[in-house]
Amino acid sequence: MENFNSPVVADDLESWLESTQYCENCQKLSKTIKNRETVLKKLKSRIIATDKIIKQFHLKKNELTHTQQQLISVTEKLKTADKLSQTLQSKVVCFLNKDPSNQAKDEFEKKLAEKESTIRSLQERLRFTEGEHKIFKESSEFSLTETERLKNEVKRQAKLIQSLETNQKRKTLQLEKSKIPLLDFGGTYLVSL
């Protein structure tokens, strides 16, 4: 005959439940507990996934900020180079009108070509940086939307878990109150009332 008066330790509960045959309500409660464990594991994995998305969002946000700074820098360089090019071009025109020397003319035309090449290069870099900026902006907006959705899902799951835990405590109390000791009489169990 088993001693049902001794308290069951939480660590031994599962092994005790597996080794003991119990009523239909107890079996349902056991299934409910296992289902809740599954829900809690899913919630944990979702929380971990949310943390990863939040970290990615912050990383993308930092990259976006860096890209914006690069865009501003390249834009300023482009403006400076454009002003310099206009200045040189006007100097070349003035110089050509004053001094018809071919050597000076060739030298200024060479400088002008170099500055125009620099301007084209900076314009290409500006277009590329603007494209990257657009991509990072779209990516960060998506991450923000996904983060918000996952936060809402975590809140919903937390409410569900709280409800399940409350229900589990209530069922456990009901189960403890309804325990009926069984007496062993040579292989036959009798319920003592």
- In the chain, the amino acid numbered 78 is L
pTM: 0.34
> Could you give the CA distance from residue 169 to residue 4 in angstroms, rounded to a whole number?
21
pLDDT at 2: 45
Give the CATH number, domain containing residue 136.
1.10.287.2610
Residue 11 lies in a domain: no
What pLDDT, in 10s, does the model give residues 96-119?
676 556 676 778 888 889 988 988
Residue 185 lies in a domain: no
Residue 8 lies in a domain: no
Residue 3 lies in a domain: no
Mean pLDDT calculated for residue range 188-192: 47
Residue 175 lies in a domain: no
Q: For residue 49, what are the CA distances in angstroms to 39, 81, 140, 153, 173?
A: 15, 47, 17, 12, 35
**Which of 47-61, 74-88, 150-164 reaches the highest mean pLDDT?**
47-61
pLDDT at 37: 93
For the chain, what is the domain count? 1
